[in-house]
Amino acid sequence: MCGIVGYVGAENAVEIIVDSLKKLEYRGYDSAGVTILNSDLETYKTVGKISELEKIIPVDFTGHIGIGHTRWATHGKPDTKNAHPHLSSNIAVVHNGIIENYMHLKEKLLTQGYEFLSETDTEVIAHLLHRTMKEDAKLSLLDAVRHIMTEMEGSYAVAVLCTDEPEHIVLARKDSPLVIGLGDHGYYAASDVTAFLRYTRNAVYVNDKELVLISPAGVKFYNNDGQQIEKQIDTIEWNEEAAEKAGYEHFMLKEIHEQPTSIQDTYAGKIFELEGKVILDELKMDEDQLRSLQRVTIIACGTSWNAGCVGKYLFERLAGIHTDIETASEFRYGEPVLCGQVFTLAITQSGETADTLAAIRSSRSYGCKAAAITNVVGSTITRETDSVLFTRAGPEIGVAATKTFTAQLIVLYLMAIHMGTVRGRLSPETAREILVGIKQLPGQVQKILNNKDAIKACAEHYANVQDYFFIGRHLNYPVSLEGALKLKEISYIHAEGYAAGELKHGPLALLSSETPVVAIATKGHTYDKVLSNIKEVKARSAEVIAVANQSDTEIDKYVDTVLRIPDCHELLAPVLSSVVLQLLAYYTAYARGCSIDKPRNLAKSVTVE
């Protein structure tokens, strides 16, 4: 939530900062602003998207050092006065995160004569810095930032300018992402590497409670005690072109179409189907540890939680391990029963999801081994867990997760097969059968994409309804949850996902002829039960859209529309069904004229609680 950028160098900072903000607009698009430090601080900010900011910036506005921000509102409504940067005399600040004790700090600053012009928590940071440097004129900007870090509670990535130090940007981080780019013509700071990939692929990830000083002479990193530290430089594997639309109308559609590649990239080098084996060197647990596990606890939010639900079924069926799935935002406030023989698995696309990070830290306090599934190398979760299993999906810009969801599923399949074979639960023959099926998935997904016209027609037919139901059993239950989530995220249609057997326990009361029901009815051991549920739905006059296998001719007798997936192993159907439902959501939103890549009220990375 929110994106910050900064630049120091020989090029025009205004152009670079605005361009970088466009790359981060998926993180927030309520308002935007930029401050350039010439002889004084020059600031332009406005409500709305980056395009609105561009309209108010003078053509001749230039400089070589500056900061920028794109906002997703948390404290204070989206308007110009709440837009960043926030100023206090000769200091300008941009901030991603939440200062939890800002009201206490604000009240104290008000008694000291400071005037607040916004409703944000960020303005507190600017005034704290001004007060600190006023009280001790010998303090450098870096030391002043380090000093106020002891006063602030919550999460933040901040970038600061001060006219007293006209060649410096100072940055600090706690629980919010921050990365530095090292280029030939300058130095960059941002919430995400996508902001500066056009200019450099050399990046340094900033850890919690670290500070950064950027100047034309270079970049220096400091720990919380003010001691200079050395940092590792990472080379980003994907380039700027991977984060562009490549001719597609929306990032979401592009990313749906990238799934044959992202699925293949995620399992590449890990599958040995002839031996019926999966090699997961990233999982830092030996065979004895895997055999001794008593329980797995999966921790996630949103789409990642839906992937985790599939993981629960897979771990229990293939590996014989009792598995719980926990909502990260609730996990840390309960009293979980954990011990050293419980394996905790965090799933987070960005690796920066605040609730998931807090939950995994809580689980570590019980002595649990912890692993993460994430898409972002260098993200915070990679430093909070013992093992990291990366999805190789490349940058995902659309707010609604698509290719990262199916890539997460692939990692979960690989983990379940690996643990199942090590624990003696899964025979090489069965493992081989599933692994062969996984290697067929990219081609099968492509077949769905090549025949998407039927999905588009279905979406357009039902585009103006007010409610949707999604139902499924076993592995198809979390698919129904994900399908409903995708639809509500981008089309703003009220949608609910249910375990199909639960309809009779209340939800049937909501059905009518105006409520289409999507039934995930792929072949498997629950197929006959789902057919019975479909008949219950039809008896209430609701129209039914079935997601079914290509070879299934029985389903046509009971439903109004059939959306087909290629025949596949029963356990792998969720991947293919999910692609169908992603397209259904996309074309529904398109028909309704919705903002698909940037749905209202949502941001890509939820880095605040």
Measured in degrees and rounded to the nearest 5, phi and psi for residue 298 equal: -95, 130
pLDDT at 608 exceeding the cut of 50: no
pLDDT per residue as tens digits for the range 222-281: 999 999 999 999 988 766 666 676 668 899 999 999 999 899 889 988 988 888 899 998
Q: Is 158 helix (H, G, I), strand (E, B) or coil?
A: strand
277 Cβ partners below 8 Å, 6+ apart?
A: 418, 421, 428, 431
Q: Is 371 helix (H, G, I), strand (E, B) or coil?
A: strand
Does 504 share its domain with 545?
yes
Contact in structure between 300 and 349 (CB atoms under 8 Å) = no
pLDDT per residue as tens digits for the range 144-155: 999 999 999 888
Helices 476-491 and 573-591: crossing angle in degrees, nearest 10, is 20
Question: Closest Cα partner for 373 from 251, 266, 476?
Answer: 266
Task: Evaluate the CA torsion angle 299, 300, 304, 306 in order and state its sign.
Answer: positive
- What gap in Å lies between CA 123 and CA 58, rounded to an integer? 25
Does 194 share its domain with 207?
yes
- Extract the tokens encoding 1: 């939530």
Contact in structure between 1 and 74 (CB atoms under 8 Å) = yes
Contact in structure between 210 and 224 (CB atoms under 8 Å) = yes
Does 236 share its domain with 260?
no
- What gap in Å lies between CA 609 and CA 607, rounded to an integer? 7
Question: Closest Cα partner for 224 from 150, 301, 314, 114?
Answer: 150
Show which of 227, 243, 259 is a domain's final residue.
Answer: 243
Contact in structure between 83 and 121 (CB atoms under 8 Å) = no
Specify the residue for token string 């659309």.
Answer: 398
Q: Is 434 helix (H, G, I), strand (E, B) or coil?
A: helix
Does 525 share its domain with 474?
yes
* HSE toward the beta carbon, residue 547, CA cutoff 13 A: 29
- What gap in Å lies between CA 351 and CA 396, rounded to an integer? 13
Question: Closest Cα partner for 196 from 20, 393, 389, 18?
Answer: 20
> CATH no. for residue 511?
3.40.50.10490
pLDDT per residue as tens digits for the range 459-477: 999 999 999 999 999 999 9
pLDDT at 3 exceeding the cut of 50: yes
Looking at the structure of the chain, the number of domains it has is 3
Work out the pLDDT band at 8, boundaries 50, 70, 90.
very high
- What gap in Å lies between CA 53 and CA 533, rounded to an integer? 52
pLDDT at 596 exceeding the cut of 50: yes
Does 431 share its domain with 465?
no
Predicted pLDDT at 458: 97
Contact in structure between 358 and 336 (CB atoms under 8 Å) = no
Q: Is 274 helix (H, G, I), strand (E, B) or coil?
A: coil
Does 236 share its domain with 127?
yes
Does 59 share its domain with 167?
yes
pLDDT per residue as tens digits for the range 338-361: 655 788 999 999 888 888 888 888
- Extract the tokens encoding 548: 């079914």
> CATH no. for residue 16?
3.60.20.10
Least confident of 81-85, 173-177, 246-250, 339-343: 339-343
pLDDT per residue as tens digits for the range 560-581: 999 999 999 999 999 999 999 9
Does 42 share its domain with 125?
yes
Q: Mean pLDDT throughout 83-102?
A: 93
Does 235 share its domain with 287?
no
**Bridge partner residues of 272 (DSSP):** 277
Q: Which amino acid is at 523?
A: K
Catalytic residue among 2, 301, 309, 568: 2
Contact in structure between 205 and 221 (CB atoms under 8 Å) = no
- What gap in Å lies between CA 345 and CA 356, rounded to an integer? 10
- What gap in Å lies between CA 279 and CA 266, rounded to an integer? 13
- What gap in Å lies between CA 412 and CA 403, rounded to an integer? 14
Q: Mean pLDDT throughout 582-591?
A: 98
Given phi > 0 = left and psi -120 to 50 = alpha, else beta, which region is 32? beta
Contact in structure between 295 and 321 (CB atoms under 8 Å) = yes
Does 255 share its domain with 239?
no
pLDDT per residue as tens digits for the range 553-564: 999 999 999 999
pLDDT at 605 exceeding the cut of 60: no
Does 184 share its domain with 39?
yes
59 Cβ partners below 8 Å, 6+ apart?
A: none
**Bridge partner residues of 46 (DSSP):** 32
pLDDT per residue as tens digits for the range 114-127: 999 999 999 999 99
Least confident of 57-61, 241-245, 247-251, 500-504: 241-245
- Extract the tokens encoding 245: 């639309």
Does 410 share its domain with 461?
no
Task: Evaluate the CA torsion angle 424, 425, 429, 434 in order and state its sign.
Answer: negative
Question: Would the pTM of this model clear 0.85, i.e. be above it?
Answer: no
Catalytic residue among 174, 452, 486, 604: 604
Question: Closest Cα partner for 292 from 317, 270, 312, 320?
Answer: 320
Residue 473 CA: distances (Å) to CA of 301, 313, 480, 498, 524: 21, 11, 9, 9, 10
Contact in structure between 331 and 324 (CB atoms under 8 Å) = no
Q: Is 2 a catalytic residue?
A: yes
Q: Is 425 helix (H, G, I), strand (E, B) or coil?
A: coil
113 Cβ partners below 8 Å, 6+ apart?
A: none
| Strand arrangement, sheet containing 202-205 | 41-47, 31-37, 65-71, 3-9, 186-190, 179-182, 202-205, 234-235
Share above pLDDT 90 across residues of the chain, in percent, rounded to a whole number: 67
What's the chain's average pLDDT?
91
pLDDT at 601 exceeding the cut of 90: no
The DSSP string of 101-139 is: THHHHHHHHHHTT----SS-SHHHHHHHHHHHHHH-TT-
Predicted pLDDT at 330: 86
Q: Mean pLDDT throughout 69-97?
A: 90
Measured in degrees and rounded to the nearest 5, phi and psi for residue 330 equal: -100, -30
Show which of 420, 448, 476 is a domain's final residue.
Answer: 448
Report long-range pairs for 242-249 (Cβ below 8 Å, ≥24 apart): 242/394, 242/395, 243/23, 243/194, 243/197, 243/395, 243/397
- Extract the tokens encoding 182: 């090292």
Work out the pLDDT band at 506, boundaries 50, 70, 90.
confident
Q: Which amino acid is at 536?
A: E
Show which of 243, 276, 299 is a domain's final residue.
Answer: 243
Domain extent, residue 511, equals: 451-609
